[in-house]
Chains A and B, each alone.
Chain A
């Protein structure tokens, strides 16, 4: 059974700052999800990645499968990036099946 840990739990940044959120997991996987939860509660999938790096706009996700660690970076942060960012990994490892979620990182970007 996988366990997913995220840090930090809360993060406050000034607009324009570079943000890093970290995620580690205990069971080897080949795909990890990064999700964004809006203040209203809805969840949006940002990335699913299995190796290396993925980039979408100002968001960059990296994963090191050997070290069981992933990071989400936000470049040139903006107040609209304020949300909870959650990483999730397959419950039993591998790449499929139901997900185990981290507790999330609450990001607040001040203008």
Chain B
């Protein structure tokens, strides 16, 4: 069964460093999302992406964040200069192109630890 994959599973970085989190969505999906979950808190929406551009972003998704679909298969989230408060689990999700109520399929997550 096709699934969303994410790499790495765990990333440790120093404050101020750039990190890139990678996701491979399910191959025929066209809608892509990044969510994050700070430890002990609920999952929060960061950004959605469709047709090679951001369709919506939350107030969390400031200038330090960017997303890209560089090669038609990968979907990346870049944090330019990490802060301690960026430590969280980051989930990628994708949705198929058609159908009412597009189900979102989640990747296993990347745990980001900023020291």
Contact = CB atoms under 8 A, between A and B. Distances in A.
Given A31-B100, A50-B100, A44 B106 contact: yes
Interface residues of B, number: 23
B43 A45 contact: no
A81 to B, nearest CB: 19
A59 interface: no
A106 to B, nearest CB: 11
A27 interface: no
Contacts of B89: 41
B18 to A, nearest CB: 23
Contacts of B43: 43, 86, 88, 99, 101
Contact of B109 (A41, A91, A101): A41
A42 interface: yes
Contacts of A45: 103-106
A97 interface: yes
A48 B101 contact: yes
A42 B95 CA distance: 18
Interface of A: 30-31, 33, 35, 41-45, 48, 50, 86, 88, 91, 95-104
8 tightest CB-CB pairs across the interface, nearest first? A31-B101, A95-B101, A101-B43, A48-B103, A42-B108, A98-B45, A43-B106, A103-B42
